Structure 1
Amino acid sequence: MIVRNIDSLHDAERKVTSDNWSSTRLLLKDDGMGFSFHQTTVFPKTETKIWYKHHLEAVFCLEGVGEIEEEDGTRHEIHPGTIYALDKHDKHVLRAFSEMKMICVFNPPLVGPETHDTQGVYPLLTEK
Protein backbone atom coordinates (compact mmCIF):
# COMPACT_ATOMS: atom_id res chain seq x y z
CA MET A 1 0.00 0.00 0.00
CA ILE A 2 1.22 3.49 -0.85
CA VAL A 3 0.15 6.34 1.43
CA ARG A 4 1.44 9.87 0.85
CA ASN A 5 0.38 13.35 1.84
CA ILE A 6 0.90 16.06 -0.76
CA ASP A 7 2.24 18.44 1.90
CA SER A 8 5.25 16.17 2.40
CA LEU A 9 6.13 16.33 -1.32
CA HIS A 10 6.18 20.08 -1.98
CA ASP A 11 9.93 20.41 -1.49
CA ALA A 12 10.85 16.92 -2.68
CA GLU A 13 12.15 15.80 -6.07
CA ARG A 14 8.52 14.95 -6.94
CA LYS A 15 7.73 18.65 -7.46
CA VAL A 16 8.50 20.10 -10.89
CA THR A 17 7.95 23.76 -11.74
CA SER A 18 7.99 25.62 -15.05
CA ASP A 19 7.14 29.19 -16.02
CA ASN A 20 3.40 28.37 -16.37
CA TRP A 21 2.75 25.56 -13.89
CA SER A 22 3.92 23.56 -10.90
CA SER A 23 3.27 19.82 -10.63
CA THR A 24 3.48 17.66 -7.52
CA ARG A 25 3.78 14.06 -8.67
CA LEU A 26 2.14 11.86 -6.09
CA LEU A 27 2.52 8.59 -8.02
CA LEU A 28 5.25 7.90 -10.59
CA LYS A 29 6.41 4.99 -12.71
CA ASP A 30 8.56 3.55 -9.92
CA ASP A 31 5.43 3.20 -7.76
CA GLY A 32 4.34 0.39 -10.11
CA MET A 33 0.71 1.46 -10.61
CA GLY A 34 0.81 1.65 -14.42
CA PHE A 35 -0.07 5.37 -14.40
CA SER A 36 1.17 8.53 -12.73
CA PHE A 37 -1.01 10.87 -10.65
CA HIS A 38 -0.27 14.56 -10.18
CA GLN A 39 -1.70 17.70 -8.65
CA THR A 40 -0.83 20.57 -10.95
CA THR A 41 -1.24 24.29 -10.31
CA VAL A 42 -1.52 26.29 -13.51
CA PHE A 43 -0.49 29.88 -12.95
CA PRO A 44 -3.02 32.65 -13.75
CA LYS A 45 -2.92 34.50 -17.07
CA THR A 46 -0.73 31.86 -18.75
CA GLU A 47 -1.00 30.03 -22.04
CA THR A 48 0.73 26.67 -22.48
CA LYS A 49 1.04 24.83 -25.80
CA ILE A 50 0.95 21.10 -25.11
CA TRP A 51 1.22 17.92 -27.16
CA TYR A 52 1.51 14.65 -25.24
CA LYS A 53 2.87 12.73 -28.20
CA HIS A 54 3.92 9.79 -26.00
CA HIS A 55 1.28 9.91 -23.26
CA LEU A 56 -2.46 9.85 -22.70
CA GLU A 57 -3.67 12.28 -20.07
CA ALA A 58 -6.88 12.87 -18.14
CA VAL A 59 -7.29 16.16 -16.26
CA PHE A 60 -9.88 17.08 -13.62
CA CYS A 61 -10.27 20.70 -12.53
CA LEU A 62 -10.59 21.25 -8.78
CA GLU A 63 -10.27 25.07 -8.70
CA GLY A 64 -10.02 28.00 -11.07
CA VAL A 65 -11.20 28.96 -14.54
CA GLY A 66 -9.62 28.59 -17.95
CA GLU A 67 -10.04 27.00 -21.33
CA ILE A 68 -8.53 24.38 -23.56
CA GLU A 69 -8.26 25.02 -27.29
CA GLU A 70 -8.03 22.13 -29.73
CA GLU A 71 -5.80 22.26 -32.80
CA ASP A 72 -8.84 23.04 -35.01
CA GLY A 73 -9.68 26.12 -32.90
CA THR A 74 -12.51 24.55 -30.88
CA ARG A 75 -12.49 25.93 -27.33
CA HIS A 76 -13.84 24.35 -24.16
CA GLU A 77 -14.39 26.18 -20.87
CA ILE A 78 -12.73 24.66 -17.84
CA HIS A 79 -14.04 25.26 -14.33
CA PRO A 80 -14.31 23.17 -11.16
CA GLY A 81 -15.85 19.79 -11.97
CA THR A 82 -14.65 19.71 -15.61
CA ILE A 83 -12.66 16.73 -16.88
CA TYR A 84 -10.94 16.46 -20.22
CA ALA A 85 -9.12 13.45 -21.62
CA LEU A 86 -6.47 13.68 -24.31
CA ASP A 87 -7.28 10.27 -25.75
CA LYS A 88 -5.74 10.88 -29.18
CA HIS A 89 -2.48 12.59 -28.14
CA ASP A 90 -4.30 15.83 -28.93
CA LYS A 91 -2.29 19.00 -29.53
CA HIS A 92 -3.88 21.79 -27.52
CA VAL A 93 -3.42 25.11 -25.78
CA LEU A 94 -4.29 25.45 -22.09
CA ARG A 95 -5.16 28.96 -20.92
CA ALA A 96 -5.57 29.79 -17.25
CA PHE A 97 -7.68 32.87 -16.53
CA SER A 98 -7.15 32.38 -12.80
CA GLU A 99 -4.97 30.01 -10.79
CA MET A 100 -6.14 26.50 -11.57
CA LYS A 101 -5.70 23.38 -9.44
CA MET A 102 -5.85 20.26 -11.57
CA ILE A 103 -5.55 16.53 -10.95
CA CYS A 104 -3.75 14.80 -13.83
CA VAL A 105 -3.31 11.12 -14.66
CA PHE A 106 -0.74 9.97 -17.26
CA ASN A 107 -0.36 6.70 -19.12
CA PRO A 108 2.35 5.58 -19.53
CA PRO A 109 3.37 6.93 -16.15
CA LEU A 110 5.88 9.73 -15.85
CA VAL A 111 9.25 9.00 -14.28
CA GLY A 112 9.39 12.33 -12.44
CA PRO A 113 11.45 15.18 -13.91
CA GLU A 114 9.59 15.61 -17.23
CA THR A 115 8.85 19.09 -18.55
CA HIS A 116 7.57 20.23 -21.94
CA ASP A 117 10.04 20.62 -24.80
CA THR A 118 9.70 23.31 -27.50
CA GLN A 119 6.83 21.36 -29.13
CA GLY A 120 5.00 20.97 -25.80
CA VAL A 121 5.96 17.29 -25.59
CA TYR A 122 7.02 15.36 -22.49
CA PRO A 123 9.85 12.98 -23.39
CA LEU A 124 9.20 9.28 -22.88
CA LEU A 125 11.66 8.61 -20.06
CA THR A 126 12.33 5.16 -18.67
CA GLU A 127 14.62 6.19 -15.80
CA LYS A 128 15.20 9.36 -13.75
Structure 2
Amino acid sequence: MIVRKLAHIINTWRHARGEGWESRRLVLAEDKMGYSLHDTLVKEGAELHLEYKHHLETNYCIEGLGEVENLATGEKHPIQPGTMYALDNHDKHILRAIKGDLRLICAFSPPLSGREVHDSDGSYSKD
Protein backbone atom coordinates (compact mmCIF):
# COMPACT_ATOMS: atom_id res chain seq x y z
CA MET A 1 0.00 0.00 0.00
CA ILE A 2 1.18 3.50 -0.85
CA VAL A 3 0.10 6.42 1.33
CA ARG A 4 1.37 9.95 0.74
CA LYS A 5 0.33 13.37 1.98
CA LEU A 6 0.49 16.46 -0.20
CA ALA A 7 2.14 18.35 2.67
CA HIS A 8 5.09 15.92 2.53
CA ILE A 9 5.56 16.47 -1.23
CA ILE A 10 5.59 20.28 -1.22
CA ASN A 11 9.14 21.62 -1.77
CA THR A 12 10.66 18.18 -2.48
CA TRP A 13 11.88 16.81 -5.83
CA ARG A 14 8.28 15.63 -6.43
CA HIS A 15 7.13 19.28 -6.50
CA ALA A 16 7.87 20.46 -10.04
CA ARG A 17 7.45 24.09 -11.11
CA GLY A 18 7.47 26.01 -14.35
CA GLU A 19 6.26 29.33 -15.66
CA GLY A 20 2.64 29.59 -14.55
CA TRP A 21 2.27 26.08 -13.10
CA GLU A 22 3.18 23.67 -10.31
CA SER A 23 2.81 19.88 -10.26
CA ARG A 24 2.84 17.94 -7.02
CA ARG A 25 3.54 14.38 -8.13
CA LEU A 26 1.75 11.89 -5.92
CA VAL A 27 2.18 8.62 -7.85
CA LEU A 28 5.04 8.10 -10.30
CA ALA A 29 6.45 5.37 -12.54
CA GLU A 30 8.62 4.01 -9.72
CA ASP A 31 5.41 3.15 -7.85
CA LYS A 32 4.55 0.62 -10.60
CA MET A 33 0.85 1.55 -10.77
CA GLY A 34 0.71 1.91 -14.58
CA TYR A 35 -0.13 5.63 -14.40
CA SER A 36 1.06 8.72 -12.57
CA LEU A 37 -1.14 11.02 -10.48
CA HIS A 38 -0.52 14.73 -9.97
CA ASP A 39 -2.08 17.60 -8.02
CA THR A 40 -1.45 20.50 -10.40
CA LEU A 41 -1.90 24.26 -10.06
CA VAL A 42 -2.12 26.54 -13.09
CA LYS A 43 -1.69 30.11 -11.88
CA GLU A 44 -4.41 32.65 -12.60
CA GLY A 45 -3.70 34.36 -15.93
CA ALA A 46 -1.40 31.58 -17.18
CA GLU A 47 -1.80 30.25 -20.70
CA LEU A 48 0.00 26.95 -21.26
CA HIS A 49 0.62 25.63 -24.78
CA LEU A 50 0.85 21.86 -24.46
CA GLU A 51 0.95 18.70 -26.55
CA TYR A 52 1.69 15.37 -24.89
CA LYS A 53 2.95 13.37 -27.88
CA HIS A 54 3.93 10.31 -25.86
CA HIS A 55 1.39 10.38 -23.01
CA LEU A 56 -2.36 10.33 -22.55
CA GLU A 57 -3.67 12.61 -19.82
CA THR A 58 -6.93 12.95 -17.89
CA ASN A 59 -7.62 16.06 -15.82
CA TYR A 60 -10.29 16.69 -13.18
CA CYS A 61 -10.82 20.25 -11.94
CA ILE A 62 -11.35 20.80 -8.22
CA GLU A 63 -10.74 24.60 -7.99
CA GLY A 64 -10.69 27.70 -10.17
CA LEU A 65 -12.17 28.65 -13.54
CA GLY A 66 -10.46 28.19 -16.87
CA GLU A 67 -10.74 26.78 -20.35
CA VAL A 68 -9.02 24.28 -22.59
CA GLU A 69 -8.76 24.98 -26.31
CA ASN A 70 -8.33 22.15 -28.82
CA LEU A 71 -5.96 23.63 -31.40
CA ALA A 72 -6.96 21.11 -34.09
CA THR A 73 -10.63 22.16 -34.00
CA GLY A 74 -10.58 25.60 -32.35
CA GLU A 75 -13.14 24.38 -29.81
CA LYS A 76 -12.93 25.99 -26.37
CA HIS A 77 -14.31 24.15 -23.36
CA PRO A 78 -14.95 25.88 -20.03
CA ILE A 79 -13.38 24.28 -16.97
CA GLN A 80 -14.75 24.62 -13.46
CA PRO A 81 -14.86 22.39 -10.40
CA GLY A 82 -16.42 19.08 -11.40
CA THR A 83 -15.19 19.24 -15.03
CA MET A 84 -13.08 16.42 -16.48
CA TYR A 85 -11.24 16.55 -19.78
CA ALA A 86 -9.12 13.82 -21.32
CA LEU A 87 -6.45 14.29 -23.98
CA ASP A 88 -7.16 10.99 -25.70
CA ASN A 89 -5.55 11.82 -29.05
CA HIS A 90 -2.33 13.49 -27.85
CA ASP A 91 -4.23 16.71 -28.47
CA LYS A 92 -2.33 19.94 -29.03
CA HIS A 93 -4.07 22.38 -26.71
CA ILE A 94 -3.97 25.59 -24.72
CA LEU A 95 -4.92 25.52 -21.05
CA ARG A 96 -5.93 28.86 -19.54
CA ALA A 97 -6.53 29.74 -15.88
CA ILE A 98 -9.06 32.55 -16.03
CA LYS A 99 -10.27 33.17 -12.47
CA GLY A 100 -8.27 31.96 -9.50
CA ASP A 101 -5.61 29.29 -9.70
CA LEU A 102 -6.85 26.29 -11.64
CA ARG A 103 -6.33 23.15 -9.55
CA LEU A 104 -6.42 19.88 -11.42
CA ILE A 105 -5.96 16.25 -10.45
CA CYS A 106 -4.11 14.75 -13.42
CA ALA A 107 -3.36 11.18 -14.44
CA PHE A 108 -0.76 10.29 -17.09
CA SER A 109 -0.30 7.06 -19.02
CA PRO A 110 2.36 5.90 -19.38
CA PRO A 111 3.37 7.18 -15.97
CA LEU A 112 5.84 10.03 -15.56
CA SER A 113 9.09 9.48 -13.69
CA GLY A 114 8.65 12.85 -11.98
CA ARG A 115 11.80 14.39 -13.39
CA GLU A 116 10.48 15.35 -16.83
CA VAL A 117 10.54 18.90 -18.11
CA HIS A 118 8.42 20.30 -20.92
CA ASP A 119 10.09 20.37 -24.33
CA SER A 120 9.85 23.55 -26.42
CA ASP A 121 6.64 22.21 -28.01
CA GLY A 122 4.97 21.63 -24.63
CA SER A 123 5.43 17.86 -24.57
CA TYR A 124 7.41 15.47 -22.40
CA SER A 125 10.05 13.22 -23.91
CA LYS A 126 9.15 9.58 -24.55
CA ASP A 127 11.35 8.30 -21.71
For the aligned pair, the TM-score class normalised by the smaller chain equals over 0.9
- CA drift at 1:7: 0.4
Once the two structures are superposed, residues 30-89 of structure 1 have per-residue CA deviations (whole angstroms, 9 ceiling, x without a partner) of: 000000000000001010000000000000000000000001211000000000000110
Give 1:6's aligned residue.
Answer: 6
- CA drift at 1:115: 2.2
**1:89 has 2:90 as partner:** yes
Give me the CA root mean square deviation: 0.7
1:112 to 103, 111, 114: 114
Structure 1 residue ranges (4+ consecutive) displaced by more than 2 angstroms after TM superposition: none
Equivalent residue of 1:65, what SS?
strand
- CA distance in structure 2 between the partners assigned to 1:101 and 1:119 by the alignment: 23
- CA drift at 1:12: 1.2
Equivalent residue of 1:99, what SS?
strand
For structure 2, the residue ranges without an aligned partner over 5 or more in a row are: none
Structure holding more strand per residue = 2
Letter aligned with residue 88 of structure 1: N
Range with greater deviation from structure 2 (37-46 or 110-119): 110-119
Please give the TM-score of this superposition, normalised by the length of structure 1.
0.95
Once the two structures are superposed, residues 66-113 of structure 1 have per-residue CA deviations (whole angstroms, 9 ceiling, x without a partner) of: 000001211000000000000110110001012111000000000011
Question: Mapping of 1:60-99 within 5 angstroms?
Answer: 60-71=60-71, 72-97=73-98, 98-99=100-101
Give 2:126's aligned residue.
Answer: 124
